Protein backbone atom coordinates (compact mmCIF):
# COMPACT_ATOMS: atom_id res chain seq x y z
CA UNK A 1 0.00 0.00 0.00
CA UNK A 2 2.85 2.40 0.75
CA UNK A 3 4.10 3.91 -2.47
CA UNK A 4 7.00 6.18 -3.28
CA UNK A 5 7.40 7.97 -6.59
CA UNK A 6 10.42 9.91 -7.78
CA UNK A 7 10.02 12.85 -10.10
CA UNK A 8 12.38 15.31 -11.70
CA UNK A 9 14.49 15.90 -14.78
CA UNK A 10 16.11 13.09 -16.68
CA UNK A 11 18.90 15.21 -18.10
CA UNK A 12 20.93 17.85 -16.29
CA UNK A 13 24.02 19.71 -17.40
CA UNK A 14 27.34 19.52 -15.57
CA UNK A 15 27.81 22.18 -12.89
CA UNK A 16 24.06 22.57 -12.50
CA UNK A 17 21.81 21.39 -9.68
CA UNK A 18 19.66 18.29 -9.61
CA UNK A 19 16.31 18.58 -7.88
CA UNK A 20 14.27 15.44 -7.33
CA UNK A 21 11.04 14.98 -5.43
CA UNK A 22 9.72 11.84 -3.80
CA UNK A 23 5.99 11.71 -3.27
CA UNK A 24 4.86 9.29 -0.59
CA UNK A 25 1.36 7.88 -0.48
CA UNK A 26 -0.50 5.85 2.14
CA UNK A 27 2.01 6.69 4.87
CA UNK A 28 2.92 9.93 6.59
CA UNK A 29 6.53 11.03 6.37
CA UNK A 30 6.24 12.39 9.90
CA UNK A 31 5.51 8.98 11.39
CA UNK A 32 7.83 8.33 14.34
CA UNK A 33 10.98 6.31 13.71
CA UNK A 34 10.88 6.41 9.94
CA UNK A 35 13.50 8.02 7.78
CA UNK A 36 13.26 9.00 4.16
CA UNK A 37 16.31 8.27 2.08
CA UNK A 38 17.81 8.88 -1.30
CA UNK A 39 19.96 6.21 -2.89
CA UNK A 40 21.53 6.02 -6.32
CA UNK A 41 23.08 3.44 -8.58
CA UNK A 42 25.48 4.50 -11.28
CA UNK A 43 25.82 2.30 -14.37
CA UNK A 44 27.73 -0.84 -13.50
CA UNK A 45 28.05 0.18 -9.85
CA UNK A 46 26.43 -0.76 -6.59
CA UNK A 47 23.91 1.15 -4.56
CA UNK A 48 25.14 4.32 -2.89
CA UNK A 49 23.27 5.98 -0.07
CA UNK A 50 23.11 9.74 -0.49
CA UNK A 51 21.23 11.12 2.48
CA UNK A 52 18.01 11.12 4.41
CA UNK A 53 15.57 13.17 6.39
CA UNK A 54 14.05 11.82 9.56
CA UNK A 55 10.49 12.00 10.77
CA UNK A 56 11.70 14.80 13.06
CA UNK A 57 13.13 16.82 10.19
CA UNK A 58 16.76 16.07 11.06
CA UNK A 59 18.96 15.41 8.06
CA UNK A 60 21.82 13.00 7.48
CA UNK A 61 24.27 12.82 4.62
CA UNK A 62 26.86 10.53 3.15
CA UNK A 63 30.22 12.17 3.91
CA UNK A 64 31.53 12.08 0.33
CA UNK A 65 28.45 13.92 -0.89
CA UNK A 66 27.60 16.06 2.11
CA UNK A 67 28.99 19.29 0.73
CA UNK A 68 26.82 19.02 -2.36
CA UNK A 69 23.65 17.50 -0.91
CA UNK A 70 20.51 18.84 0.68
CA UNK A 71 17.47 16.81 1.64
CA UNK A 72 14.32 18.62 2.65
CA UNK A 73 10.63 17.94 3.00
CA UNK A 74 7.19 19.40 2.55
CA UNK A 75 5.00 17.74 5.13
CA UNK A 76 1.84 19.32 3.76
CA UNK A 77 2.43 17.48 0.49
CA UNK A 78 3.95 14.39 2.09
CA UNK A 79 7.00 14.84 -0.10
CA UNK A 80 10.72 14.95 0.41
CA UNK A 81 13.31 16.29 -1.96
CA UNK A 82 16.91 15.93 -3.00
CA UNK A 83 19.13 18.70 -4.25
CA UNK A 84 22.55 17.76 -5.52
CA UNK A 85 24.67 20.66 -6.68
CA UNK A 86 27.72 21.06 -8.89
CA UNK A 87 26.85 18.02 -10.93
CA UNK A 88 29.52 16.03 -12.71
CA UNK A 89 29.06 13.23 -15.24
CA UNK A 90 29.83 10.68 -12.52
CA UNK A 91 26.57 11.69 -10.85
CA UNK A 92 24.75 9.94 -13.68
CA UNK A 93 22.71 7.22 -12.01
CA UNK A 94 19.32 5.83 -11.30
CA UNK A 95 18.09 7.72 -8.26
CA UNK A 96 15.76 6.05 -5.80
CA UNK A 97 13.85 7.24 -2.81
CA UNK A 98 13.13 4.77 -0.04
CA UNK A 99 11.51 4.46 3.34
CA UNK A 100 13.73 3.38 6.21
CA UNK A 101 12.20 1.88 9.30
CA UNK A 102 14.34 1.88 12.43
CA UNK A 103 13.89 -0.49 15.37
CA UNK A 104 16.62 0.01 17.94
CA UNK A 105 19.88 -1.10 16.31
CA UNK A 106 18.08 -2.53 13.29
CA UNK A 107 16.82 -0.86 10.17
CA UNK A 108 15.36 -1.76 6.83
CA UNK A 109 14.70 0.02 3.59
CA UNK A 110 11.38 -1.63 3.05
CA UNK A 111 9.68 0.47 0.41
CA UNK A 112 11.35 1.94 -2.64
CA UNK A 113 10.34 4.02 -5.57
CA UNK A 114 10.88 2.57 -9.00
CA UNK A 115 13.82 4.89 -9.60
CA UNK A 116 14.45 7.64 -12.08
CA UNK A 117 17.42 7.80 -14.41
CA UNK A 118 19.34 11.06 -14.26
CA UNK A 119 21.93 11.69 -16.90
CA UNK A 120 24.47 14.44 -16.33
CA UNK A 121 25.75 15.51 -19.70
CA UNK A 122 26.21 18.52 -21.89
The Cα–Cα gap between 65 and 88 comes to 12
**How many Å apart are CA 102 and CA 106, to the nearest integer?**
6
Q: What pLDDT score was predicted for residue 11?
A: 98
pLDDT string in tens for the chain (122-residue length)? 999 999 999 999 999 999 999 999 999 999 999 999 999 999 999 999 999 999 999 999 999 999 999 999 999 999 999 999 999 999 999 999 999 999 999 999 999 999 999 999 99
Most distant CA pair in the chain, distance: 45
CA end-to-end distance (rounded Å), the chain: 39
| pLDDT in the model for residue 49 | 98
Amino acid sequence: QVQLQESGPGLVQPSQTLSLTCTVSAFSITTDFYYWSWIRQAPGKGLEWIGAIAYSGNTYYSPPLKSRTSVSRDTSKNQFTLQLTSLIPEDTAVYYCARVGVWGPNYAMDYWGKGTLVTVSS
